[in-house]
Amino acid sequence: MQAIFRGAYWLRLWSLLQCEESKETICSASKMLEIVALDIFAMNGWRRNNRIYF
């Protein structure tokens, strides 16, 4: 989950260097990536605060 959000962050940061048309597309795509990831994890019973360590 953290890797997905970190990737979306870097996409939004990279979009600042793009032209206006591309900037909007990249920002909306990164937001949709986060939304889809949250939905997938939520549908399978995984909450954001769950951890994989012991």
pLDDT, tens digit, 9 for 90 and up, residues 32-53: 988 888 888 878 776 656 555 5
Q: What is the pLDDT of residues 17-32, one digit of tens each?
A: 888 888 888 888 888 9
Is pTM beyond 0.95? Reply is no
**Residue 27 CB burial class (10 angstroms; 0-12, 13-18, ≥19):** middle
Residue 45 has what DSSP assignment?
T
What is the rounded CA–CA span in Å between residue 24 and residue 18? 9
Q: Does position 54 have pLDDT exceeding 70, yes or no?
A: no
| Dist CA 3 CA 18 (whole Å) | 23
Query: What three-state secondary structure class fits 25?
Result: helix
